[in-house]
Amino acid sequence: MSTATRRRRFVSGPRCRTIPFAILALALGGCGGSSTPERRTLIDSRDNYDPRSLDPALSTDVPTGRAVAYVFDGLTRFTERAELAPNLATTWEVSPDGLIYTFHLKSGVRFHDGTPFTAADVKHSFERVLDPATPGGRGWPLYPIKGAKDYAAGKLKSISGVEVPNDTTVLFTLAEPFAIFPKMLAMPATGIVPHRTPPDFGEHPVGTGPWRFVEWRHDDYLRFARNADYHGGAPLADSLEARIIPEMSTAEAEFEAGNVDVLWVPEQATPAWEENEETRPLLQSAPSLRLIYAAMNTTHGPLRDVRVRRAINYAIDTRVILRRLMGGRGTVAAGVIPPSLAGFDSTRAPYPYDPAKARALLAEAGYPNGVDVELWSSQSEQFPRIAQTIQAYLARANIRVKLVQRDASSMREAARKGNTDIALKDWYADYPDAENFLYPLLHSANAGVGGNVSFYHNATFDSVVSASRREQDPAKRAALYRQADSIAFEDAPMIFLFFYKEVDAVQPWIKGYVVPSIFNGQRWTTVSIKHEAKAGTK
Amino acid sequence: MISFIARRLALSIPTLIGVLVVTFLLLYVAPGDPVQEMVGERADSATIARLRKDLRLDEPVTSQFTHYAGGILRGNLGTSYITRRPIIQDVLERFPKTLLLAGTAMLFASITGIFIGVLSAQHPNGWFDRLALGAAYLGISFPVYWVGLLLILLFAVTLHWLPPSGYGGLRHLILPALALGTRSVAFLARVTRSAMLDVLNSDFVRTARAKGLREHVVVTRHALRNALIPVITVLGLDFGYYLTGSILTETIFSWPGLGRYVVNAISRRDLPAIQGSVLFLSVVFVLVNLLTDLAYAKADKRVAL
């Protein structure tokens, strides 16, 4: 999933990033500690644009995905550390051929409106997401189920692969083995909705999740109240508010004033936050399942030659870009699998910065006078600066770069149509698995609209990835992931840049907050405001 | 007057049709694919093709336009591609907030600007005039986002007097209205000053003074009223600035108005939302221009409608 619509990087118009607000505030002596607020509402400030809806079927962006995770439950869920955990399903097993999954559901769970949750709701919810009349287009996580694709195309009356033998059991028959299928059921789109969903369901959602929906003031805030009967343990705080603040400097000011509890720290502000002794203890971080990379179109001119693509990787000092432009937020990538996921190979070193080698490779490829390429980037966040820096590095290796800057939507369209040479992009995982990087970004089945905008096609890579999707044994699967990643690293269909590190500032009075590694991993159930016992000074 | 209003409203119809056509065509030729924005990445071509058909995006531009314009004629601005809510509902929810912000900013700007202008004109090149002139130059030169951030920094972060952002009561309104109005204060002060100087040097003001009227009566009753015509023109024209300037102000102060809605719609290629909002704002613009003309007549009896 691209972060252009998924994370703060969504550029919603003219922004004033010229002012490093924290620094200015520090200079004016503004950074004073606020005292613990009286409120009993947790306030989040990480959303920077309005969710598109609170209907799971429409959840394609981060604010929507987060809110859906508060109100709805899937059969499974992701923890803050991006591990798979049971949710509405307590256990599940898979048949030896990897085709039939049996999920055993919790009993006694009720929706916020009091209706009991049963296995029939699962079938109904999945059919609703896939229904051609539901204009979400978010059915793909369920496509592994037999008949799901045909149902989505209007060819079937119901999904043949879903069976409900009793109220607490659901059976899924897959079209072909797909070992990480349970992870699909933790995505926002596969959240369970009650049988009756009125037309304004997206505005007044009813789920079984830890938080009941209370109020949504568009572009302002979302408010939720504690579901005291939550089957997974009621949230500690009374209520939760997600404020929608488009401008980061404003969010920083709100944090500074003590009005919000958690703040996403912008990259360029990170050093200022880290160097200040008052603000440093407030920072928390987590490795994020987000890859920043530049897809090289392997069907374009000199980029067809693997030596040219490797030369480009050798010609860029990624560490310097990471340190200087990203506030050191991340680790340099040597492949597409993030360090926290199975399949990551810690022995593989990133491409070192070696301009001489880059020039030699170019000469070997028959380009002693260098090559000309176009580098596309969106206007989001640090991307234009990263693009300019890459341009400068490549110039030293005799690779002449023409920068093309477009808004995110235009760039995405151009890249998918194959009109870009190199496209600076990022990818934020939908689910925590190496497959979510290897398959969409590089498998030839996803060339173009599917996400592989390198138009990379390597038959061996494809077959290894396809095999990994079927492999039931986790260790063998991880080995296949490692193998595929290694092939991709050698073929260099992209400039491998970095895996991102998420940094949030958390108020000192907040207890139990963990920075999530995946966007819907933090459901605020164990977070609370630590109200100090009143001292007798008043 | 009624016939004047009717005539003006009738004349606005071709303008609005023009807006409709131009917006539609601009969005048609703009890069970026609305369907891909709807489904996010990793969608399959079958879904994309189905949605494209559902939204009639696979039809020729003329038939798309006819369908859209037909909806408009029936009073239907359409449904958002992204949120699936009716556009009119989204617009009507946000526009009053933009109007409240713009109205307050305008009120602040006109009262302050005219007051400063009148005072400056009374003693041209005096210390107050020079100070006001200097401040006006600064006010015109500062971009609204800079002013906005400085206001937040001073009044919210450092002094803790007002909330940094958000929508709520009067306390939430003050900072964004100040930020949005500052540039206009400066401009209005300059315009009022020069209009007042012209009027104060005219014969009827001399006559009024010669009659022995007190200075404040001369200034407010006689001079100011006549100096207001250019000020009203500026205010009317400025309203456009308020609506567009409010996009930045709304972003900085997290004000849930129409400006932010439009910007979001543009970056998500939510075509009906963009078209609907632009059309709606055009209608507002036409109405404001009409009101400006009516205000001329009120301020100056010589203007016959």
What pLDDT score was predicted for residue B93? 92
Which residues in chain B have Cβ-Cβ distances shorter than 8 Å to A131? none
Listed in sequence order, the residues at least 6 apart from A270 whose beta carbon sits closer than 8 Å to its beta carbon are A327, A328, A329, A503
Nearest CA-CA partner of A75 in A194, A213, A205, A182: A182
H/E element, A371: strand A371-378
What pLDDT score was predicted for residue B210? 85
pLDDT at A1 over 70: no
Which residues in chain B have Cβ-Cβ distances shorter than 8 Å to A143? 44
Which residues in chain B have Cβ-Cβ distances shorter than 8 Å to A25? 153, 157-158
A15–B149 C-beta distance less than 8 A = no
Q: What is the pLDDT confidence band of residue B267, given thresholds at 50, 70 and 90?
A: confident
What pLDDT score was predicted for residue A517? 94
A30–B157 C-beta distance less than 8 A = yes
- CA A441 to CA A333: how far, in whole Å? 15
Q: What is the mean pLDDT of chain B?
A: 86
Q: What is the pLDDT confidence band of residue B235, given thresholds at 50, 70 and 90?
A: confident
Q: What is the pLDDT confidence band of residue A26, given thresholds at 50, 70 and 90?
A: very low
Q: What is the pLDDT confidence band of residue A395, given thresholds at 50, 70 and 90?
A: very high
- DSSP string covering A395-462, please? HHTTEEEEEEEE-HHHHHHHHHTT--SEEEEEEE-SSSSTHHHHHHHH-GGGBGGGSBTT----HHHH
- CA B292 to CA B54: how far, in whole Å? 43
Which candidate from A60, A219, A409 shows the least CB-CB separation from B269?
Answer: A409
Nearest CA-CA partner of B105 in B264, B220, B255: B255
Q: Which residues are paired to A295 by β-bridges?
A: A423, A494
Are the beta carbons of B20 and B280 closer than 8 angstroms?
no
- CA A485 to CA A348: how far, in whole Å? 10
Q: Which residues are paired to A110 by β-bridges?
A: A116
Which candidate from A5, A25, A220 shows the least CB-CB separation from B157?
Answer: A25
pLDDT at B260 over 60: yes
pLDDT at A532 over 80: no
In Å, how far from its chain's centre is CA A291?
9
What pLDDT score was predicted for residue B296? 77
Which residues in chain B have Cβ-Cβ distances shorter than 8 Å to A10? 267
What pLDDT score was predicted for residue B209? 84
List the single residue in B with minimal CA-CA distance to A407: B267
B45–A449 C-beta distance less than 8 A = yes
Lowest mean pLDDT among A231-240, A474-483, B16-25: B16-25
Q: What is the pLDDT of residues A467-508, one digit of tens each?
A: 999 999 999 999 999 999 999 999 999 999 999 999 999 999
Q: Which residue has the higher pLDDT, B206 or A512?
A: A512
pLDDT at A20 over 50: no
For range A375-398, the mean pLDDT? 93
Nearest CA-CA partner of A363 in A311, A315, A422, A314: A311
Please state, as a whole number, how many other Cβ atoms lie within 10 Å of the Cβ of residue A221.
Answer: 22
A60–B40 C-beta distance less than 8 A = yes
Q: What is the pLDDT of residues B142-182, one digit of tens each?
A: 888 888 999 999 999 888 899 999 998 899 999 999 998 88
Q: What is the pLDDT confidence band of residue B295, given thresholds at 50, 70 and 90?
A: confident
What pLDDT score was predicted for residue A135? 67
Q: In the structure encoding, which two tokens stand for residue A475, read together?
A: 């260790």
Lowest mean pLDDT among A19-33, A109-123, A413-427: A19-33
B55, B84, B160: which to substitute to probe chain A, counting the most A Cβ within 10 Å?
Answer: B84
H/E element, A151: helix A148-152
pLDDT at A115 over 50: yes
| Alpha carbon distances (Å) from A25 to A19, A195, A277, A279, A470 | 10, 51, 14, 12, 54
Q: In the structure encoding, which two tokens stand for residue B70, read together?
A: 């037909």
Q: In the structure encoding, which two tokens stand for residue A387, read together?
A: 């693009």
Are the beta carbons of A43 and A183 closer than 8 angstroms?
no
Please give the share of chain A, as a percent, with pLDDT higher than 70: 92
Q: Residue A284 region, left (φ>0) first, then alpha (ψ -120 to 50), else beta? A: beta
For range A9-32, the mean pLDDT? 41
Q: What is the pLDDT confidence band of residue A238, given thresholds at 50, 70 and 90?
A: very high
Are the beta carbons of A335 and A489 closer than 8 angstroms?
yes
What pLDDT score was predicted for residue B206? 84
What pLDDT score was predicted for residue A144? 95
B267–A250 C-beta distance less than 8 A = no
What pLDDT score was predicted for residue A476? 97
Q: In the structure encoding, which two tokens stand for residue A234, read together?
A: 């009621």
Q: From start to end of B28-83, where are the E strands? A: none
Q: Which residue has the higher pLDDT, B159 or A172?
A: A172
What pLDDT score was predicted for residue B304? 63
pLDDT at A338 over 90: yes
What pLDDT score was predicted for residue A10? 33
Q: In the structure encoding, which two tokens stand for residue A453, read together?
A: 């905008």
Q: What is the pLDDT confidence band of residue A30, given thresholds at 50, 70 and 90?
A: very low
For range A110-134, the mean pLDDT? 93
- CA B255 to CA B192: how far, in whole Å? 31
Q: By the CB < 8 Å criterion, does A416 face chain B? A: yes
In Å, how far from its chain's centre is CA A213?
23
Which class for B151: exposed (0-12), middle (13-18), buried (19 or more C-beta within 10 A)?
buried
DSSP 8-state class, residue A323: H
Please state, as a whole number, how many other Cβ atoms lie within 10 Å of the Cβ of residue A298.
Answer: 21
| Alpha carbon distances (Å) from B119 to A336, A431, B128, B193 | 67, 66, 8, 8
Q: What is the pLDDT confidence band of residue A2, given thresholds at 50, 70 and 90?
A: very low
DSSP 8-state class, residue B220: I
What pLDDT score was predicted for residue A24? 52
A257–B163 C-beta distance less than 8 A = yes
pLDDT at A524 over 60: yes
pLDDT at A6 over 50: no
Are the beta carbons of A70 and A51 closer than 8 angstroms?
no
- DSSP string covering A111-127, please? -TTSPBP-HHHHHHHHH
pLDDT at A336 over 60: yes
Q: What is the pLDDT of residues A257-268, one digit of tens each?
A: 899 999 999 988
Which candidate from A10, A14, A19 shows the least CB-CB separation from B149?
Answer: A19
- CA B109 to CA A35: how far, in whole Å? 36
Q: A11 to chain B nearest CA, in Å?
A: 7
- In this structure, the strands spanning A283-296 and A76-78 are unpaired
List the single residue in A with minimal CA-CA distance to B54: A135
pLDDT at A18 over 60: no
What pLDDT score was predicted for residue B122? 84
- CA A66 to CA A51: how far, in whole Å? 9
Q: In the structure encoding, which two tokens stand for residue A68, read together?
A: 């859906």
DSSP SS3 for A298:
coil
- CA B25 to CA B17: how far, in whole Å? 12
What pLDDT score was predicted for residue B145? 84
Residue type, B136: A
Which residues in chain B have Cβ-Cβ distances shorter than 8 Å to A406? 31
Q: What is the mean pLDDT of chain A?
A: 90
List the single residue in A with minimal CA-CA distance to B159: A30
What pLDDT score was predicted for residue B247? 84
pLDDT at A429 over 80: yes
Q: In the structure encoding, which two tokens stand for residue A140, read together?
A: 């793909």
Q: What is the pLDDT confidence band of residue A394, given thresholds at 50, 70 and 90?
A: very high
Lowest mean pLDDT among A238-247, A519-528, B133-142: B133-142
Place of tokens 């809510």: B85
Q: Which residue has the higher pLDDT, B43 or A173?
A: A173
Place of tokens 């009561």: B169
First-to-last C-alpha distance (Å) of chain A: 53
Instruction: Identify how many contiguous H helices and E strands chain B contains and give both numbers.
Output: 13, 0
- Within 121-150 of A, beta carbons closer than 8 Å to B belong to 132, 135-140, 143, 149
Q: What is the pLDDT confidence band of residue B52, given thresholds at 50, 70 and 90?
A: confident
B41, B157, B274: which to substitute to probe chain A, counting the most A Cβ within 10 Å?
Answer: B41
pLDDT at A42 over 80: yes
- CA B192 to CA B113: how far, in whole Å? 8
Alpha helices in A287-330 (DSSP H): 306-314, 318-325
- CA B161 to CA A58: how far, in whole Å? 40
- CA A295 to CA B101: how far, in whole Å? 44
Please give the share of chain B, as a percent, with pLDDT higher than 70: 97
B149–A407 C-beta distance less than 8 A = no
Nearest CA-CA partner of A112 in A210, A244, A4, A240: A210
pLDDT at A519 over 90: yes
What pLDDT score was predicted for residue A29? 45
Q: A448-461 burial string, b = 16+ CB within 10 Å, else e? A: ebbbbbbbbbbeeb
Q: Which residues are paired to A145 by β-bridges?
A: A174
A24–B153 C-beta distance less than 8 A = yes
What pLDDT score was predicted for residue A13? 33
What pLDDT score was predicted for residue A261? 96
For range A432-456, the mean pLDDT? 95
First-to-last C-alpha distance (Å) of chain B: 6
List the single residue in B with minimal CA-CA distance to A13: B263
Which residues in chain B have Cβ-Cβ distances shorter than 8 Å to A254? 164-165
Which candidate from B31, B42, B45 shows the least CB-CB separation from A410?
Answer: B31
- CA A349 to CA A332: how far, in whole Å? 9
Q: What is the pLDDT confidence band of residue A211, given thresholds at 50, 70 and 90?
A: very high
Are the beta carbons of A122 and A74 closer than 8 angstroms?
no
Please state, as a whole number, how many other Cβ atoms lie within 10 Å of the Cβ of residue A406.
Answer: 18
pLDDT at B265 over 70: yes
- CA A317 to CA A311: how far, in whole Å? 12
For range B215-222, the mean pLDDT? 80
